[in-house]
Amino acid sequence: MIIKYLIRIGDGCVLSSISSNNHYAWHIVNTLSNLGLVTVRRVSGRILILPTTKARKVLELYDNIVSVIEGEIGALHPNHTHPELKAEDTIESSIPAEMPSFIKGNPWVTVLKSRRR
């Protein structure tokens, strides 16, 4: 959650950008401030939330962790890419040309050429 709000604050933002609920926004700011991650400034009637150097280091570490994890996933699944657009489904994908194995040998299978009424 801390990371989520640090990303939201970025290089600095107004209080309302953190949450439209003023009470909740102050709760977040106070929590981050107690951890030494943000400072609060009032500039011409507006409340600005600015990240500290510590916050920037935390975000840098977070970016590194993310890139390591992505690299690991890439190594495990070399074909892990965005799914490509598939061609339109065809009849073959729903009704195979050949009889499925669970019907083969079924005594009720009727052959068209032997149809007799």
Partner 1 sequence: MQRYILVKEKLSMRHLAMLYKEEVGEELLEEWMRAREAVRYSFLSPVVGEVVVNDLRLSLPYGLSCIVDSYGYISVLPEPIMVKDCIDHDFIRYLLYDLPKMLDEDRRPVLVEGFDERFTKNAVQGLIYAGDILKRVGIMYRVPVAVKYCINTLGYLKWVNTYIIVKREGRTYLQQLPENIYFEVRDYE
Looking at the Cβ atoms of 11 and 92, the one nearer to partner 1 is: 92
Least distance to partner 1 from the beta carbon of 85, Å? 16
Q: Looking only at residues 68 through 107 of this chain, which bind partner 1 when binding is defined by CB under 8 A?
A: 88, 90-92, 94-100, 102-104, 106-107
User: How many whole angstroms separate alpha carbon 51 and alpha carbon 39?
Assistant: 6
Report the nearest approach of partner 1 to the CB of residue 105 (Å): 9
Q: How far apart are CA 66 and CA 77, in angstroms?
A: 16
* Residue 11 interacts with partner 1 (CB under 8 A): yes or no: no
Query: For residue 28, what is the enclosing H or E element?
Result: helix 22-34
Residue in the block written with tokens 């510590």: 54
Q: Which is nearer to partner 1, 78 or 96 (CB)?
A: 96
Instruction: Give the total of residues touching partner 1 (CB under 8 A).
Output: 25
Least distance to partner 1 from the beta carbon of 89, Å? 8
Best CA proximity match to 7, nearest among 40, 65, 51, 46: 51
The contacts of residue 66 (CB under 8 Å, 6+ apart) are: none
* Least distance from partner 1 to the Cβ atom of residue 93, Å: 10
The residues pairing with 46 across neighbouring beta strands, listed in sequence order, are 43
Interacting residues with partner 1 (CB under 8 A) = 88, 90-92, 94-100, 102-104, 106-115, 117
